[in-house]
Structure 1
Amino acid sequence: MNSRRKQRISEAFGAAAARYDDHAGPQRAAAALVADLAQRQMPGPVERILEIGCGTGLLTRDIQRRWPSAELVVTDLSPDMLARAAKGGLVAGTFLTMDGEAPAFEGEWFDLILSSLAFQWFEQLEDAIARLTGLLRPGGSLIFSTMGAGSFAQWRAAHAACDLVPGVPAYPGLDDLRAMLSAYDDAFAFDEDYALSCGGARGLIAHLKGIGAVVPGDGRKPLPPGQLRRVMAAFDQHGGDDAYQLLFGRVTRPKN
């Protein structure tokens, strides 16, 4: 794994922790849907839950409300985000700084492993899904959301119009995710689109900075100011708004 890039991601999200919730419209919706899917899967009591990439705790607090008696392990790559999620004593659990792609657990521990909009930062998504699924107890489920290839299509198009390559990471498509999950007997994936009203390129950039999503894809660098201005003008010329494509997946281990 690229430890330097992971450190940059941790620092970027840590810097955004205090203002993250002000910019997290699609993130709130994704977290709520992950929690809904989990409760449909596990409507009764649950003994032990692991959350990957808690951020400021949008999903964490929902998990606590739905399964108040569960033993909850909350993790994030960023210590600052983790501290934000734990702030105020709103959640009772164990808070652990951890790279979800390299979980610090072995064996069949968890009834639920939940994550909302963290998996897009993994370097080897398919391998990470396999590792996390291996931590499930029989009958347990991994349920997650992640960014899809259709995200920020207008921003990408503005780069293409200027013969430039965007720094936005290359996310998997829905067919890609379904192919990854086809190895499991009980799994599914679907997508949802969320409009993002930016009010122009400056608004989109402010949104991305606000949520800490500023580390470019591996091997890419931020554009020089002149090129960035050209892209911003092209984006504004075509409406100045964009959208998220969010992918949702569920893998359930067979019961003994």
Structure 2
Amino acid sequence: MSVLTVSSDGRWQAQVAHAFSRAAPRYDALASAQRQIGQRLWGSLPRNAYKVLDVGCGTGYWTQQLAERYPHTQITGLDLAPGMLAQARQRYGGGINWQQGDAAALPFGAHAFDLAFSNLALQWCRDIDAVMAELCRVLRPGGQAHITTLLPGTLEEIAFAWQRPEALLQPPNLASIVRAIGKSDLAIAWQAATVERFYYADLQAVMASIKGVGAQLPRSNTCLTRADIAAAKARYEQLRQPEGLPVSYRCLTLQLEKSP
């Protein structure tokens, strides 16, 4: 997900972890868009895997799915937010190795995994070069990484409604991601950039879907007035489709391979 601002780079990780930890109890109930996007990765996964890492595992939904798909495999779920990991442990127990950590500094040795999975997490990482270098380091020769992440322009309707384009997270663009992959020993086996749209009944439902999965519009020095909210509703209504108010996710799906 993708709306958060912070005052300095030094506080970035702490604020991301805090926002997602707060959202953890209600995350799964509001994460239908994230689930649908993650499903894109499922068909491309290899038949067999022996040590699997879920980067940005959240409450563990996909980690558990991986454990069921690879029942004789050692599965590790990694997340920056302790609240997310607490939910994952509570729901899915100790059969999975739950690990707090940062995708840009993975707390594992070299060649520790033959498959890495990551659904809508890497857009939160400011140093995409470090992320790709770390994925390459922890993958065994011939290993694979299957990733979805977000591109700039995600949630553009919300920025328009609130007239706050600066509020949107600015994830790495496609060129930056491709360059980062090129700097590592990973190669792109397949990629696709798509726009996924989801629809909601009203502005309240839109904002609940965003806040409920750990993202939120930044607080400003002045509180929003009723007039501000009414103006945002009116602007958003200009975008209404027969299905409802649209929310767009600009997605990048990647299958990466490490050279044997």
TM-score, normalised relative to structure 1: 0.85
Q: Contact 2:150 / 2:251 at 8 angstroms: preserved in 1? A: yes
Percent identity of equivalent pairs:
25
Consecutive unaligned residues of structure 2, counting only runs of 5 or more, are 1-7
Q: For 1:221 and 1:170, how far apart are their aligned partners in 2?
A: 18
Say if 1:202 and 1:69 are closer, same or farther in 2 by CA, change over 3 A: same
Say if 1:80 and 1:155 are closer, same or farther in 2 by CA, change over 3 A: same
Q: 118, 121, 133: which one pairs with 1:118?
A: 121
Q: Give the match's secondary structure for 2:25.
A: coil
**Residue type matched to 1:242 in 2?**
V
**Residue type matched to 2:35 in 1?**
R
Q: Does 1:23 align with 2:23?
A: no
TM-score, normalised relative to structure 2: 0.84
Q: Contact 1:177 / 1:189 at 8 angstroms: preserved in 2? A: no
The alignment's C-alpha RMSD in Å is 2.4
Consecutive unaligned residues of structure 1, counting only runs of 5 or more, are none
**Residue type matched to 2:208 in 1?**
A
Q: Give the match's secondary structure for 2:237.
A: helix
**Residue type matched to 2:187 in 1?**
D
The offset of 1:103, in angstroms, is 0.8
Q: For 1:50 and 1:85, how far apart are their aligned partners in 2?
A: 15
Q: Give the match's secondary structure for 1:225.
A: coil
Deviation per residue, 1:195-215 (Å, 9 max, x gap): 221223222211111111127
Q: Does 1:238 align with 2:245?
A: no
Structure 1 outlier segments of 4+, above 6 Å: none
Q: Does 1:55 align with 2:58?
A: yes
Q: For 2:31 and 2:89, how far apart are their aligned partners in 1?
A: 18
Instruction: Look up the match of 1:225.
Output: 224
The offset of 1:82, in angstroms, is 0.8
Say if 1:3 and 1:73 are closer, same or farther in 2 by CA, change over 3 A: farther
Q: For 2:161 and 2:221, how far apart are their aligned partners in 1?
A: 15
Instruction: Look up the match of 2:200.
Output: 198
Q: Does 1:128 align with 2:135?
A: no
Instruction: Look up the match of 1:68.
Output: 71
The offset of 1:171, in angstroms, is 2.4
Instruction: Look up the match of 2:104.
Output: 101
Q: For 1:95 and 1:222, how far apart are their aligned partners in 2?
A: 38
Instruction: Look up the match of 1:87.
Output: 90
